[in-house]
């Protein structure tokens, strides 16, 4: 019965995934890994941090995703003078009614784009913490529940850029994944110019699912099966990060849970009702890299976190294929 439910879950999720991805592909050229990462994070009910130089298509990708799922979308442009109340909302006194009224901030939407989040001060950045973790806003002692589904997609410029404030570790840990767009190759560059020659395809993009269908897919994801041996594999990976050279602070239990959730997401979009080690490996880099606190020598090395994760994945013993396939039958 459990595996019958899991099979139905994976079929529903795969259908939603294929609809969203094919629709986004009408606007975005290539970037399959980044698109898959975004959709998996959405299905997991998580949040995304995209770091890259300006002009690589981060905002365009997020707008295409929001347009595809038919959910309410709002954008917050982070600047040094942005206040927490500009994000969450504020109480103001209505003279005509002689009472205070709450005016919702832009965070009251299904998909929130926090554009250039590292240009705002740490105080304002932390204003998103409760929203991302608790999915609610507290103003003057009163709590307001956010929309469901709710997803924050933050973009930031590389930390070496002028006028930026690095995100604190507590906030980084709230993002399920971190990724980048990277520059297109020569062929993709030509396709982009051709696609945007006369007008933007984003202008005519229509939703392919509604919020109810998305919520159903999100609720089905926990039914994807993962065996105890793979839970042990994920735990071992997290433990190795805590004793790896050049790592000051490794992956917490919350990070291990995030890896398990993302692994289920990658399994489901692959059309399977159970998780394999390949799903865990596929999720490891976007889920774990930003959770590693490196020493000073490692921080100045390019792709140091990725190399450490690669080394750990090659070291930790992988469960045999027969184990999890037999358990999933």
> How far apart (Å, rounded) are the C-alpha atoms in residues 151 and 45?
7
Please, how many CA atoms are within 13 Å of residue 184, restricted to the half-sphere of its CB?
A: 17
Q: Three-state DSSP class for 192? A: helix
Comparing 1-223 with 225-329, is the CATH topology the same?
Answer: no
Give the residue from 46, 316, 32 showing the smallest Cα distance to 178.
Answer: 46
Which tens digits make up the pLDDT trace of 267-296?
A: 999 999 899 999 999 999 999 998 988 877
Tell me if 64 sits within 8 A of 202, measured CB to CB.
yes
Q: Report the pLDDT value the prediction gives residue 286, as an integer from 0 to 100.
A: 94
Q: Three-state DSSP class for 177? A: strand
Across the range 157-179, mean pLDDT stands at: 78
Thinking of the domain 1-223, which architecture would CATH place it in?
Answer: 3-Layer(aba) Sandwich (3.40)
Which tens digits make up the pLDDT trace of 125-166?
A: 887 877 888 888 888 778 888 888 899 999 887 765 667 788
> How far apart (Å, rounded) are the C-alpha atoms in residues 123 and 143?
20
- Residue 210 DSSP label: -
CATH 2.60.40.10 fits 225-329, yes or no: no
Tell me if 288 sits within 8 A of 309, measured CB to CB.
yes
96 pLDDT more than 70: yes
> How far apart (Å, rounded) are the C-alpha atoms in residues 15 and 325?
23
Across the range 291-305, mean pLDDT stands at: 80
Helices 2-24 and 32-44 cross at an angle (nearest 10°) of: 130
94 pLDDT more than 70: yes
Distance in angstroms between the alpha carbons of the first and the last residue of the chain: 11
Helix, strand, coil content of the chain in percent (nearest 5): 50, 15, 35
- Facing residues of 114 across strands? 76, 154
Q: Report the pLDDT value the prediction gives residue 4, as an integer from 0 to 100.
A: 52
Confidence (pTM):
0.87
54 pLDDT more than 80: no
Question: Which token pair is 211?
Answer: 């919020």
Tell me if 273 sits within 8 A of 3, measured CB to CB.
yes
Across the range 174-196, mean pLDDT stands at: 87
Percent of all residues in the chain with a pLDDT value above 70, rounded to a whole number: 93
Enclosing H/E stretch for 112: strand 111-115
177 pLDDT more than 60: yes
Tell me if 24 sits within 8 A of 181, measured CB to CB.
no
The total number of residues written for the chain in this structure: 329
Give the residue from 49, 227, 211, 72 showing the smallest Cα distance to 132.
Answer: 49
What is the rounded average pLDDT for all residues in the chain? 85
Across the range 222-246, mean pLDDT stands at: 91
322 pLDDT more than 70: no
Comparing 181 with 154, the larger pLDDT belongs to 154
Where along the chain do its domains lie? 1-223, 225-329
52 pLDDT more than 90: no
């Amino acid at each position: 019965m459990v595996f019958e439910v899991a099979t139905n879950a994976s079929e529903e999720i795969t259908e939603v995934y294929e609809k969203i991805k094919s629709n986004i592909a009408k606007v975005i050229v290539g970037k399959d890994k980044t698109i898959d990462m975004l959709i998996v994070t959405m299905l997991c009910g998580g949040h995304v941090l995209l770091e890259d130089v300006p002009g690589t298509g981060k905002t365009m990708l997020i707008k295409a995703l929001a347009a595809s799922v038919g959910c309410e979308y709002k954008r917050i442009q982070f600047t040094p003078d942005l206040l927490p109340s500009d994000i969450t909302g504020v109480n103001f006194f209505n003279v005509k009614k002689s009472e205070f009224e709450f005016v919702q901030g832009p965070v009251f939407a299904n998909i929130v784009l926090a554009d250039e989040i590292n240009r705002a001060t740490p105080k304002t950045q932390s204003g998103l913490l409760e929203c991302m973790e608790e999915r609610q806003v507290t103003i003057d002692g009163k709590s307001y529940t956010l929309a469901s589904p709710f997803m924050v997609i933050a973009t930031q410029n590389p930390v070496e850029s002028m006028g930026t404030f690095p995100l604190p570790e507590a906030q980084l840990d709230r993002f399920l994944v971190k990724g980048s767009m990277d520059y297109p190759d020569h062929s993709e560059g030509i396709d982009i110019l051709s696609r945007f020659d006369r007008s933007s395809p984003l202008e005519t993009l229509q939703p392919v699912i509604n919020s109810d269908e998305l919520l159903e897919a999100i609720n089905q994801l926990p039914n994807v099966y993962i065996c105890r041996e793979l839970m042990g594999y994920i735990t071992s990976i997290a433990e190795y990060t805590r004793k790896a050279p050049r790592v000051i602070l490794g992956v917490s239990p919350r990070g291990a849970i995030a890896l398990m959730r993302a692994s289920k997401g990658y399994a489901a979009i692959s059309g399977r009702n159970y998780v394999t080690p390949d799903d865990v490996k596929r999720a490891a880099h976007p889920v774990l890299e930003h959770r590693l606190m490196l020493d000073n020598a490692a921080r100045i090395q390019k792709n140091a976190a990725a190399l450490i994760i690669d080394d750990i994945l090659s070291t930790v013993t992988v469960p045999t294929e027969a184990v999890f396939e037999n358990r999933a039958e």
